Amino acid sequence: MHLGAFSISLAVKDIHASRQFYEHLGFSVFAGDIERNYLIMKNGNALVGLFQGMFEKNILTFNPGWDESANPLAEFEDVRTIQKDLKEKGISFMSEADEAGTGPASFVIMDPDGNAILVDQHV
């Protein structure tokens, strides 16, 4: 199973302070809108999303169909296929993708320690 590009989405208290901190670590703004309280920071293949006031806890994020630069992949495992495989393995879902749909979709699962994992397909 290939989940796609990985990033961590951080629930931050002050997006300006967080941006500055991650810039000191060598990250630069890759995407997002600071006026809308979110930025995606990139350092090589590492991606960190900064989100102020959007969710309470940090989220592990995977993007099927994208590489680490948000370029579409010619071939990838569709989010609905990944969801089906996980259901067959007994994984519980917090939210699910419409199995009859196509294109963009997402689902959320929790690991045994309560960490949210978002699988979010944009293509």
CATH number of the domain enclosing 113: 3.10.180.10
Tell me which H or E stretch contains 24. Answer: helix 15-24
Q: Which residues on neighbouring strands pair with residue 118, listed in sequence order?
A: 61, 108
Say what the pLDDT of residue 22 is. Answer: 98
CB atoms within 10 A of CB 58: 15
Tell me which H or E stretch contains 88. Answer: helix 79-88
Residue 21 C-beta-side C-alpha neighbours within 13 Å: 12
Say what the pLDDT of residue 96 is. Answer: 98
What stretches in the chain show pLDDT beneath 50?
none
> What pLDDT digit, counting tens, does each position of 58-85 carry?
999 999 999 999 999 999 999 999 999 9
Taking a C-beta distance cutoff of 8 angstroms, is the pair 30, 42 a contact? yes
Q: How many domains does the chain have?
A: 1
Domain extent, residue 94, equals 5-121
